[in-house]
Amino acid sequence: MKKLILSALFIAAMTTAVFAAADGNAKAGVRFKAEYPAATNVNWRTTDDYISAEFYVNNEKFNAYYDSNGDKIGSSHKVTLDQLPAPGLEQLSSRYKGYTPTEIIEYTHSNNKVSYFLALDKKGVKIVVQMLPDGTVNFFKNVAREQ
């Protein structure tokens, strides 16, 4: 009897968790459709930490991220060097001489603040820096060093 009660409680808890996740997915889906009505080729992915949608608008790839409640965390897409703020490019060239940008992502936070994340490579030393719209450039993290 004790095992039956524990099993029933476990099933009830799991069902609640599944419905909560599904509810978050549904909310994210509704919000996504409202914000990106022109999106095509939408692919959804759910992890323990977030829900993401990879999609295209005018042949440009984007990603949108939502929390488990379906609230938007932010969105991202690739940009080019010439789309970065000029003061940031000046700071980048003086502080990170010899590094070559390999990927640049524009990330828009849920509060509409923008950050740029640049993957840089210098002879196999790979780092990521963050650039703000005012041109401030900050080290973000080491990625890898090729052997």
pLDDT confidence of residue 6: 39
Residue 97 and residue 133 in one domain? yes
Residue 11 and residue 64 in one domain? yes
Q: Look at residues 52, 73, 94 and tell me which one is the last residue of a structural domain.
A: 73
Q: Look at residues 73, 95, 113 and tell me which one is the last residue of a structural domain.
A: 73
Residue 93 and residue 65 in one domain? no
Domain membership of residue 13 as a residue range: 2-73
Q: Look at residues 73, 91, 106 and tell me which one is the last residue of a structural domain.
A: 73
Please, how many CA atoms are within 13 Å of residue 88, restricted to the half-sphere of its CB? 21
Residue 34 and residue 85 in one domain? no
What are the average pLDDT values for consecutive 10-residue runs of the chain, which has 147 residues? 42 37 75 96 94 96 96 97 97 96 97 97 96 97 77
Dihedral of the alpha carbons of 76, 40, 70, 113, in degrees to the nearest 10: 30
Tell me the pTM: 0.79
